[in-house]
Amino acid sequence: MWGRNVYDSIAKFLQFQLTVNVVAVIVAFTGACITQDSPLKAVQMLWVNLIMDTLASLALATEPPTEALLLRRPYGRDHPLVSGTMLRNILGHAAYQLLVIFTLLF
Protein backbone atom coordinates (compact mmCIF):
# COMPACT_ATOMS: atom_id res chain seq x y z
CA MET A 1 0.00 0.00 0.00
CA TRP A 2 2.81 2.41 0.89
CA GLY A 3 4.76 1.55 -2.25
CA ARG A 4 1.77 2.28 -4.48
CA ASN A 5 1.17 5.53 -2.62
CA VAL A 6 4.78 6.60 -3.16
CA TYR A 7 4.56 5.70 -6.86
CA ASP A 8 1.34 7.69 -7.27
CA SER A 9 2.83 10.66 -5.40
CA ILE A 10 5.92 10.64 -7.62
CA ALA A 11 3.74 10.49 -10.73
CA LYS A 12 1.60 13.41 -9.53
CA PHE A 13 4.68 15.46 -8.63
CA LEU A 14 6.25 14.72 -12.00
CA GLN A 15 3.09 15.74 -13.84
CA PHE A 16 2.91 18.98 -11.88
CA GLN A 17 6.58 19.82 -12.42
CA LEU A 18 6.51 19.05 -16.13
CA THR A 19 3.45 21.25 -16.59
CA VAL A 20 4.98 24.19 -14.73
CA ASN A 21 8.34 23.87 -16.49
CA VAL A 22 6.84 23.50 -19.97
CA VAL A 23 4.81 26.68 -19.44
CA ALA A 24 7.78 28.58 -17.99
CA VAL A 25 10.06 27.65 -20.90
CA ILE A 26 7.47 28.51 -23.55
CA VAL A 27 6.63 31.84 -21.89
CA ALA A 28 10.29 32.78 -21.54
CA PHE A 29 11.16 31.75 -25.12
CA THR A 30 8.10 33.29 -26.78
CA GLY A 31 8.33 36.46 -24.73
CA ALA A 32 12.01 36.83 -25.59
CA CYS A 33 11.32 36.31 -29.30
CA ILE A 34 8.40 38.73 -29.49
CA THR A 35 9.34 41.50 -27.05
CA GLN A 36 13.13 41.12 -27.27
CA ASP A 37 13.12 40.79 -23.46
CA SER A 38 12.17 37.79 -21.39
CA PRO A 39 9.07 38.27 -19.22
CA LEU A 40 10.69 36.08 -16.55
CA LYS A 41 14.25 36.83 -15.53
CA ALA A 42 16.57 34.04 -14.39
CA VAL A 43 16.19 34.85 -10.70
CA GLN A 44 12.40 34.97 -11.04
CA MET A 45 12.40 31.54 -12.72
CA LEU A 46 14.54 30.17 -9.89
CA TRP A 47 12.15 31.54 -7.27
CA VAL A 48 9.13 30.12 -9.09
CA ASN A 49 10.79 26.71 -9.26
CA LEU A 50 11.86 26.85 -5.62
CA ILE A 51 8.41 27.76 -4.35
CA MET A 52 6.58 25.35 -6.66
CA ASP A 53 8.93 22.46 -5.82
CA THR A 54 8.65 23.00 -2.10
CA LEU A 55 4.88 23.34 -1.93
CA ALA A 56 4.18 20.50 -4.34
CA SER A 57 6.53 18.08 -2.63
CA LEU A 58 5.09 18.90 0.79
CA ALA A 59 1.53 18.44 -0.44
CA LEU A 60 2.24 15.13 -2.12
CA ALA A 61 4.55 13.73 0.57
CA THR A 62 1.92 14.16 3.27
CA GLU A 63 -0.84 12.36 1.37
CA PRO A 64 -1.73 9.22 3.36
CA PRO A 65 -2.31 5.88 1.60
CA THR A 66 -5.83 4.48 1.31
CA GLU A 67 -7.22 0.97 1.07
CA ALA A 68 -8.42 1.76 -2.47
CA LEU A 69 -4.81 1.54 -3.66
CA LEU A 70 -4.86 -2.19 -3.04
CA LEU A 71 -7.89 -2.69 -5.28
CA ARG A 72 -6.01 -1.94 -8.50
CA ARG A 73 -3.43 -4.16 -10.10
CA PRO A 74 0.25 -3.25 -9.58
CA TYR A 75 2.21 -1.68 -12.41
CA GLY A 76 4.87 -3.76 -14.16
CA ARG A 77 8.51 -2.85 -14.66
CA ASP A 78 7.89 -1.84 -18.26
CA HIS A 79 5.03 0.55 -17.39
CA PRO A 80 6.10 4.12 -18.32
CA LEU A 81 6.18 6.69 -15.55
CA VAL A 82 4.73 9.34 -17.87
CA SER A 83 1.70 7.62 -19.36
CA GLY A 84 -0.40 8.80 -22.27
CA THR A 85 -3.05 10.16 -19.93
CA MET A 86 -0.44 12.11 -18.00
CA LEU A 87 0.97 13.52 -21.24
CA ARG A 88 -2.49 14.66 -22.34
CA ASN A 89 -3.06 16.27 -18.92
CA ILE A 90 0.32 18.03 -19.06
CA LEU A 91 -0.29 19.41 -22.55
CA GLY A 92 -3.90 20.37 -21.78
CA HIS A 93 -3.07 22.20 -18.57
CA ALA A 94 -0.05 23.84 -20.21
CA ALA A 95 -2.21 25.10 -23.08
CA TYR A 96 -4.73 26.56 -20.61
CA GLN A 97 -2.03 28.24 -18.54
CA LEU A 98 -0.35 29.62 -21.67
CA LEU A 99 -3.67 31.02 -22.88
CA VAL A 100 -4.20 32.85 -19.59
CA ILE A 101 -0.58 34.09 -19.33
CA PHE A 102 -0.42 35.30 -22.94
CA THR A 103 -3.80 37.02 -22.55
CA LEU A 104 -2.44 38.92 -19.57
CA LEU A 105 0.98 39.54 -21.16
CA PHE A 106 -0.17 40.78 -24.55
Average pLDDT over residues 84-103: 93
Report d(CA 69, CA 96) in Å as an integer.
30
Report d(CA 74, CA 87) in Å as an integer.
20
Average pLDDT over residues 79-96: 92
Whether the per-residue pLDDT at 91 is higher than 90: the answer is yes
Q: What is the pLDDT of residue 67?
A: 86
Report d(CA 51, CA 69) in Å as an integer.
29
Average pLDDT, the chain: 86
In which band, very low, low, confident or very high, does the pLDDT at 13 lie, cut at 50, 70 and 90? confident
In whole angstroms, how far apart are CA 53 and each of 14, 57, 77? 10, 6, 27
In which band, very low, low, confident or very high, does the pLDDT at 98 lie, cut at 50, 70 and 90? very high
Domain boundaries, the chain: 1-61+80-105
Which has more confidence, 37 or 83?
83
Q: Which of left, alpha, beta for 101 (phi over 0: left; psi -120 to 50: alpha)?
A: alpha
Q: What is the pLDDT of residue 32?
A: 84
Report d(CA 46, CA 70) in Å as an integer.
38
pLDDT in tens, 40-85: 788 888 888 888 788 887 877 778 888 888 888 888 888 888 889 9
